[in-house]
């Protein structure tokens, strides 16, 4: 496997910096990356990935003005965010982890954006639950740009057909595409592929870029970057992949 062909990581704040300082650093990097390619920084949304992080750090981010957050598990998000969302009604909460159909009800009630629509059964369940609750989060389709067998997401070649199925068979409006490139690969080609797919599909939202490469993602057209460790520090507990 080829290693170390990844881009240099964006400048990171000192490890002991507080959340407000880290936020300012990350916002500065986004602004610089956007301006560098002639984009308005306001067209890039910073999704602060707060999975596994303690509520005090989330509160620090809220106090510093951050309002868009991402969580990867429905139950954890429900426990952490039910009260916080009541307290901060302008918070926009994104689900960025896999969604099981038996958690669709909770997910539709809690999240403002679901970034991980990755199969027809889920699209069908979301459409039905949206009707039941009279509310539907904004939806992004997850694309498996690296075609990794263990990873969720629609294969790039199948994206147009899947979008048509969401729209025509289930009446779902899809706002954009999201991808998590293979960990050990140069992300640029995956970012380019995702941005190209979104453009060809006429979709405005492009969710790509994490702590190690969000500046590159912004330069390549991301409208949403999902940043966790650069904002909150290392996650202390392991994240349970495959559970939402």
Name the site residues for ligand PLP (rule: CB under 6 A).
49, 51, 72, 96-97, 180, 210-211, 226-230
Query: Residue number with the shortest CB distance to ligand PLP?
Result: 228
Instruction: Tell the smallest beta-carbon distance from residue 115 to ligand PLP (Å).
Output: 7
The maximal CA–CA distance of the chain, rounded, in angstroms, is: 51
Instruction: Tell the smallest beta-carbon distance from residue 164 to ligand PLP (Å).
Output: 25
- Residue pair 92/67 in contact (Cβ under 8 Å)? The answer is yes
- Of 164, 154, 205, nearest in space to 44 by CA: 205
Output phi, psi for 104, to 5 deg: -60, -40
Taking the least distance from each CB to ligand PLP, the nearer of 74 and 96 is 96
Instruction: Tell the smallest beta-carbon distance from residue 198 to ligand PLP (Å).
Output: 17
Give the contacts of 102 (CB within 8 A, at least 6 positions apart). Answer: none
Taking the least distance from each CB to ligand PLP, the nearer of 174 and 227 is 227
Q: Is 151 exposed, middle or buried (0-12, 13-18, 19+ CB in 10 A)?
A: middle
114 bridge partner residues: 95, 139
Taking the least distance from each CB to ligand PLP, the nearer of 165 and 229 is 229
Instruction: Tell the smallest beta-carbon distance from residue 211 to ligand PLP (Å).
Output: 3
Taking the least distance from each CB to ligand PLP, the nearer of 64 and 128 is 64
Instruction: Tell the smallest beta-carbon distance from residue 86 to ligand PLP (Å).
Output: 25
Measured between alpha carbons, how far is residue 42 from residues 31, 32, 207 in Å?
A: 8, 12, 15
Instruction: Tell the smallest beta-carbon distance from residue 151 to ligand PLP (Å).
Output: 11
How far is C-alpha 67 from the geometric centre of its chain's CA atoms? 14
Neighbours of 20 (CB within 10 A): 14
Taking the least distance from each CB to ligand PLP, the nearer of 127 and 224 is 224
Instruction: Tell the smallest beta-carbon distance from residue 96 to ligand PLP (Å).
Output: 4
What is the three-class DSSP state of 224? strand
Q: Is 15 exposed, middle or buried (0-12, 13-18, 19+ CB in 10 A)?
A: exposed
Taking the least distance from each CB to ligand PLP, the nearer of 77 and 180 is 180
Taking the least distance from each CB to ligand PLP, the nearer of 156 and 209 is 209
């Amino acid at each position: 496997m080829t290693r170390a062909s990844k881009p240099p990581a964006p400048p990171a704040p000192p490890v002991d910096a507080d959340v407000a300082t880290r936020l300012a650093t990350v916002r500065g990097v986004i602004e610089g990356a956007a301006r560098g390619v002639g984009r308005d920084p306001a067209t890039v949304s910073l999704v602060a990935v707060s999975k596994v992080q303690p509520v005090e750090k989330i509160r620090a981010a809220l106090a510093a003005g951050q309002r868009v957050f991402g969580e990867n598990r429905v139950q954890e998000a429900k426990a952490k965010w039910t009260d916080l969302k009541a307290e901060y009604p302008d918070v926009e909460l994104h689900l960025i982890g896999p969604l099981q159909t038996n958690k669709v009800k909770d997910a539709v009630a809690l999240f403002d954006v679901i970034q991980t629509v990755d199969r027809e059964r889920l699209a069908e369940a979301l459409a039905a639950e949206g009707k039941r609750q009279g509310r539907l989060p904004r939806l992004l389709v997850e694309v498996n740009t690296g075609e990794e067998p263990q990873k969720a997401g629609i294969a790039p070649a199948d994206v147009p057909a899947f979008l048509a199925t969401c729209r025509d068979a289930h009446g779902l409006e899809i706002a954009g595409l999201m991808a998590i490139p293979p960990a050990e690969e140069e992300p640029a080609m995956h970012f380019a592929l995702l941005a190209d797919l979104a453009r060809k599909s006429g979709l405005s939202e492009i969710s790509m870029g994490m702590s190690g490469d969000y500046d590159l993602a912004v330069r390549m057209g991301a409208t949403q970057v999902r940043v966790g460790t650069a904002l909150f520090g290392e996650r202390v507990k392991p994240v349970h992949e495959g559970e939402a």
